[in-house]
Amino acid sequence: MFRFANIEYLYILLVVPMLVGLYFFASYLKKRKLEEFGEISLIWQLMPGVSFRRGWIKLIVYTTAFSLMVVGLARPQFGSKLTEAKRKGIELIIALDVSNSMMAQDIQPNRLDRAKQAISRMVDQLANDRIGLIVFAGNAYVQLPITNDYTSAKMFLSSINPGVVPKQGTAIGAAIDLAASSFSPQEETGKVIVVISDGENHEDNPIDASKRAQEKGVLVHAIGIGSRQGSPIPKAPGSSDFLRNKDGDVVVTKLDEQTLSKVAVAGEGKYIRASNSQIGLLPLLEEIKRMEREELKDKIFSEYNDQFQYLFGLALLLLIIDFFLLERRNKLIRRLNLFGENIED
């Protein structure tokens, strides 16, 4: 496994394009000054010892050496030893509805963004548990495989939007089936699915899917997000223009609590209705934490070998080469013509 021990140092590489830009600007000013004395081609003939090409070669060598040193400071490392880490926890998969109806604003700022905020806060409360993310609309997809990398979970969560699933609809059953098959094969580990959806326009039988998951030893909880009276669906976030049906009427999306509560009952879990003040994930997490935690085993790299010394060595070699590269031709090494220059240029 490869990693940077001090990855923040890579931001220094932003200096490289600035250096190149300064060199371009300095070359431009030099050319303008020379043009003040007469025809530039004649002036170059009066300076036979100057090699303009070497200036560019020095720039390339210097910036490459500088970049290698910066990458070396970031301490690139390769994992050298795998060990088995043991801890107690459960596996949790969030199945998040990303259909267009989740953009309704009866839950502020909208159903989807509010759910993402709640999931992010819940991830902050996890310690020894694994988490996975599944998104669904007309189809279901694994957004993040089951993992204990909470930073990656929050990163993948932030990228979720209705566009990640091309087919619209609400395939809750497909999401539950996919989640139930996405857990690790450890039979003794507690496994939980949390479905977050408005439950509307479901295209399959989510209740049967929940029963199948329960038969595998997976608990299925459901969180209903939305209002009973319904809300129009904006065409875009913050837009006052709403989706309309083929008759030109504004489409109103309503929370289907009946379906979601049946899903929870079939999965021997709980149904919670979200509100603007509380989505329900944190109270549900407290319920999940009371589950019997089993020992989880993970393969992790416990030792890493630094590779920065090779980068520093190469950078030093380039700087030594840069030291001997003069913008004027040196008579002692002129005959070597290391770079295939035209002596007359």
pLDDT in tens, 101-120: 999 999 999 999 999 999 99
Q: In what order do the strands lie in the sheet containing 2-4?
A: 2-4, 76-89, 294-306
pLDDT confidence of residue 167? 87
pLDDT confidence of residue 86? 58
Banded pLDDT at 344 (limits 50, 70, 90): very low
pLDDT confidence of residue 304? 65
Instruction: Tell me the per-residue pLDDT of 123-166, one tens digit each, with 9 for 90 and over.
Output: 998 888 899 999 999 999 999 999 988 999 999 999 999 989 98
Give the Cα separation of 325 and 319 in Å (integer): 10
Banded pLDDT at 332 (limits 50, 70, 90): very low
Residue 19, pLDDT > 70, answer yes
Contact 204, 83 (CB under 8 A): no
Kindly state the tokens that stand for 244.
């309309």
102-106, 175-179, 338-342: lowest mean pLDDT where? 338-342
Task: Tell me the helix, strand and coil percentages in the chain, rounded to 5.
Answer: 40, 25, 35
35-39, 88-92, 168-172: lowest mean pLDDT where? 35-39
248: left (phi over 0), alpha (psi -120 to 50) or beta: left
Q: Indicate the pTM of the whole model.
A: 0.62
Greater pLDDT, 17 or 4:
17
Distance of CA 123 to the CA centre of its chain: 15
Greater pLDDT, 36 or 142:
142
Identify any residues that bridge with 212 across adjacent strands, giving them in sequence order.
Answer: none
Give the Cα separation of 141 and 164 in Å (integer): 9
Instruction: Tell me the per-residue pLDDT of 271-285, one tens digit each, with 9 for 90 and over.
Output: 999 988 888 888 888
pLDDT confidence of residue 343? 46
What average pLDDT does the chain have? Answer: 83
pLDDT confidence of residue 97? 95
Residues in contact with 212: Cβ distance below 8 Å, sequence separation at least 6, in sequence order: 176, 177, 180
Contact 302, 3 (CB under 8 A): no
The one-letter amino acid at 292? E
Give the Cα separation of 91 and 126 in Å (integer): 11
Domain boundaries, the chain: 2-79+305-336, 91-292
What angle, rounded to 10 degrees, do the helices at 111-125 and 150-158 form? Answer: 170
Which CATH class name applies to 91-292?
A: alpha beta
